[in-house]
Amino acid sequence: MEYPQAVWVPLIPTGLMIEDTASGLQLLGRTALNSDSAIPVDRIPQTLTNIDKMAYHRTADETDLDVTWQWIPEASGKIDKFFINIACIMNQTAWTSGGTTFDNVQVTLTRVGGQDVLWDQVFPTGFAEATDLDDADLFIVAHPVWGSDLRIRAGNQINIRVQARSTPTQTNTSHLGILPIFPQQIPATAADPQFWSHSGILFFITRDRKN
């Protein structure tokens, strides 16, 4: 095996949640980005399109998002750095009073077997309460982790868990979801083709010289 190597792990839910769509115009309301300019966008899968709708896999109403993917490394080594690139959405679909606050997104890496947590971080969205029908908040996490020094073994499963949380008040209905692909800028309009990023984590693996 040649080192270093870059491994892209796509985060695409399959059969776990309900697929839904949201108009690009609907998402004009509020968008937040937790970003760092060091993200290597040229190494992250992208799609050029002029569509103005985005599909996302969502939870049942009033249920926090909690999805786990399994990644089984093909080679042993050390994760020198990795880049998180995911987008989550909170969509308020019915409203009478009060509202819903899209609180945060949490990403956790766990080694299966020992069940030890390798890395864990909560990303606050910073959104205020959504107080109207069809308010949709899109939160993009584009976050680099440098010098992680995480050791992996070939065939030793790593769990990647993504959670999103919201807080409702009074009388309204909302749900949370994750977007397999999402526009790099909002709004996404059919008249203007643009690149859409894919949700996933990009791992950079080097040789583990301690073993």
Q: Are 141 and 86 in contact (CB under 8 A)?
A: yes
| Interatomic CA distance for residues 173 and 86, integer angstroms | 24
Question: What is this structure's pTM?
Answer: 0.83
Q: What is the pLDDT along the chain (211 residues), one digit of tens a residue?
A: 566 788 999 998 776 556 566 544 344 344 555 555 555 666 777 877 777 667 788 888 878 999 999 999 988 888 988 999 998 988 887 777 778 888 999 999 998 865 688 899 999 988 888 777 656 788 888 888 887 778 888 888 999 999 999 988 877 888 888 988 887 665 555 567 777 888 999 999 888 766 5
Please give the Cα distance from 199 to 211 (Å, whole number). 32
